[in-house]
Amino acid sequence: MKKFLEKYQATIIIAILAFMTVVSLLNAQNDALIYDEEAHIPAGYSYLIQQDIRLNPEHPPLLKDLAALPLLFLQPKFDVTQDFWTKDNADASQWNAGKYFLFGAGNNPDQIIFWSRLPIILLSLVFGLFIFKWTKEMAGTIAGLFALTLYAFDPNILGHNHFVTTDLGIAAFMTFSFYYFLKFIKQPSWKNVFIGGFFLALVQLTKFSSVLLFPVFGLVLIIYPFVKLHRDNNKSKLATLGEYLLKGFSAFAVSLVLVYIAYFVSAYNMPQTKLPEIISHYFKPGDTRPAIVYTREFLVSINDHPALMPLADYLFGVLRVFQRVGGGNVAYLMGEVNTQGFFAYFPIVFLIKEPLPILFFILFSLIIAFTKIIKSTIAPSENFFAKIRKNITHYLRTSIVEFSMFIFILLYAITSITGKLNIGFRHLFPMLPFIYILVSVGIFRFLKHRHHQSKLIFNIMISGLTIFLVAGTISAYPYYTSYFNSLVSGSKQGYKVATDSNTDWGQDLKRFKIFLADHPGITKIKTDYFGMADLNYYLGDRYEKWWGAKRPIETGWYAISVLFLQESTYNTNIADNMSYRWLKNIKPVYQVGTSILIYNITPQDIQNIPDNIK
Find out whether 333 and 345 touch, Cβ atoms under 8 Å.
yes
Q: How far apart (Å, rounded) are the C-alpha atoms in residues 42 and 101?
A: 7
Residue 327 has pLDDT above 90, yes or no: no
> Quick check: helix, strand or coil at residue 343?
coil
Q: How far apart (Å, rounded) are the C-alpha atoms in residues 424 and 342?
A: 12
Cα–Cα nearest to 592, from 495, 473, 487, 486: 495
Find out whether 51 and 61 touch, Cβ atoms under 8 Å.
no
Cα–Cα nearest to 436, from 52, 143, 209: 143
pLDDT of residue 486: 95
Q: What angle do CA 516, 519, 525 make, to 5 degrees?
A: 55
Find out whether 94 and 53 touch, Cβ atoms under 8 Å.
no
pLDDT of residue 381: 55
- How many CB atoms lie under 10 A from the CB of residue 46? 25
User: DSSP label at 537?
Assistant: H
- Measure Cα distances from 155 to 381, 395, 426, 491, 536 in Å: 49, 34, 11, 11, 31
User: DSSP label at 161?
Assistant: T
Q: List pLDDT tens digits, range 500-518.
A: 999 999 999 999 999 999 9
Mean pLDDT of 332-341: 90
Q: How far apart (Å, rounded) are the C-alpha atoms in residues 605 and 182?
A: 63
pTM, two decimals, is: 0.95
Distance from chain centroid for Cα 150: 17
**pLDDT band, very low/low/confident/very high, at 228 (cuts 50, 70, 90):** confident
Q: How far apart (Å, rounded) are the C-alpha atoms in residues 116 and 337?
A: 34
- β-partners of residue 494 are none
Q: How far apart (Å, rounded) are the C-alpha atoms in residues 48 and 43?
A: 9
Alpha carbons within 13 angstroms on the beta-carbon side of residue 234 total: 0
Mean pLDDT of 18-27: 98
pLDDT of residue 382: 58
Q: List pLDDT tens digits, range 346-402.
A: 999 999 999 999 999 999 999 998 888 777 666 555 566 677 777 788 788 888 999
Q: List pLDDT tens digits, range 84-103.
A: 999 999 889 999 999 999 99
Across the chain, mean pLDDT equals 93
Q: How far apart (Å, rounded) are the C-alpha atoms in residues 106 and 83?
A: 17
Residue 251 has pLDDT above 60, yes or no: yes
Ramachandran quadrant class, 336 (left: phi over 0; alpha: psi -120 to 50; beta: rest): beta
% of the chain at pLDDT higher than 70 = 97
Mean pLDDT of 61-65: 97
Provide CB contacts within 8 A for 275, sequence distance 6+. Answer: 57, 299, 303, 309, 312, 313, 316
Provide CB contacts within 8 A for 301, sequence distance 6+. Answer: none
Query: Which alpha helices (H) appear in 34-89, and where do they start and end?
Result: 37-50, 62-68, 71-74, 83-86
pLDDT of residue 524: 96
pLDDT of residue 379: 57
Ramachandran quadrant class, 489 (left: phi over 0; alpha: psi -120 to 50; beta: rest): left
Type of residue at 573: N
**pLDDT band, very low/low/confident/very high, at 601 (cuts 50, 70, 90):** very high
Domain boundaries, the chain: 1-30+133-165+328-475, 32-107, 166-270, 274-327, 500-608
Residue 126 has pLDDT above 60, yes or no: yes
